[in-house]
Chains A and B, each alone.
Chain A
Amino acid sequence: MERSEWPLWEIFIRSQHGLAHKHVGSLHAPDPEMAIKNARDVYTRRNEGVSIWAVRSADVTATAPGEKGPLFEPANSKIYRHPTFFPMPDEVKHI
């Protein structure tokens, strides 16, 4: 009788352009080493990355949809965090 399925992993890849690791998808693997190797084979077939993170999907803590309001809406009111809050005269350059 077959045991359960290989666990699911979330794969994050940092591309050559120096941006932060980005979630690219998921895959199944029996253990961390194989997760990394499978990620290399599945998600970098076209030279997409230079660094891989694999995280067990079960270990990801995520925001619940219901929290959307309390978590993110306060940031909407702090518009002074955005540079466009401060209008600059046209004559002032390079700022």
Chain B
Amino acid sequence: MYAQMVDTGANKLRALEDMGPEERAFQERVDADVKIEPKDWMPEAYRKTLIRQISQHAHSEIVGMLPEGNWITRAPSLKRKAILMAKVQDEAGHGLYLYAAAETLGVSRDQLVADLHAGKAKYSSIFNYPTLTWADIGAIGWLVDGAAIMNQIPLCRCSFGPYSRAMIRVCKEESFHQRQGFDIMMTLCRGSAEQKAMAQDALNRWWWPSLMMFGPPDAVSNDELRQRFVDQTVPQADYLGITMPDPELKWNAERGHYDFGPIDWDELYNVVKGNGPCNRDRLQTRVKAWEEGAWVREAALAYAEKRAARAQKAA
């Protein structure tokens, strides 16, 4: 579903003339929009940044399955159940594509997963918030996927070939995710007063964390994307007839943008640090699934080895 604060690390730190021939060739390819492939020479910092960012993105997909998976067994109609299962399954697929992109750099998926489980690797903080009602599934699709899509589209043009190709696939498959979320919100807002209240409550809880997904205001591009997200989302909320939980939100005709209130960065930093409502649950759930699956993974491998040995003996 989502990538937070990812850049490819291919920023020019030095002038071309200060670089060695390999680095220079690398930089010229990046500048000419030629993709860097796994076996190409690359600066160590570039490789490290890629591994960290791609795996962080992959972890976010996998951990991101949990808050939505939380509602598969309780989805209120068979149609919604099928859509939600397909969506959460897509996220597993996206995690898989992304792990595979990281693996081209010579790191194993097991190692990346071990880093996640040890708390050494990060994933998107948004998934440390709980899904308390069915409307949260709508709000996640509408807001969280909406914000994620804005963050992700530039990654399709990323300089590293495998990451770029994985992201093209992810973005293509994800096109229905945001719409299904908005569709849930629309149905709730056209429904009973109780349902509409459910939608409003979900917006109240997910709005600010969604804005935080664009990252701290230290990069101009973060704020630009955030502003674009606010500008496109506010009219959608108006259409639904629900209100952003921000008394300072208003149209600024002079700027041609919506002004909005201050973001509580203290909250974001705390959630990032592990103090969010679900940090511990999410990680424990992943660790449990992994540990309880160990004997299954081992069995399949043992069978493959036995079979290979038998085939060799027969030959």
- Which residues on A are within 8 Å of B, measured CB to CB? 2-6, 8, 24-28, 30-31, 34, 42, 45-46, 62, 64-65
Contact = CB atoms under 8 A, between A and B. Distances in A.
B120 interface: no
A30 B39 contact: no
B303 A30 contact: yes
Contact of B304 (A8, A26, A30): A30
Interface residues of B, number: 28
Among A8, A26, A42, the one with the most B-chain Cβ atoms within 10 Å of its Cβ is A26
The secondary-structure label for the interface of chain A is loop
29 contacts: A2-B294, A2-B297, A3-B301, A4-B110, A4-B301, A5-B110, A6-B300, A8-B100, A8-B103, A24-B169, A25-B96, A25-B97, A25-B166, A25-B169, A26-B103, A27-B96, A28-B109, A30-B300, A30-B301, A30-B304, A31-B300, A31-B304, A31-B307, A42-B93, A45-B89, A45-B93, A46-B173, A62-B39, A65-B41
Contacts, number: 51
Interface in B126-166: 165-166
B88 to A, nearest CB: 12
B183 interface: no
Contacts of A46: 173
Interface in B265-292: none
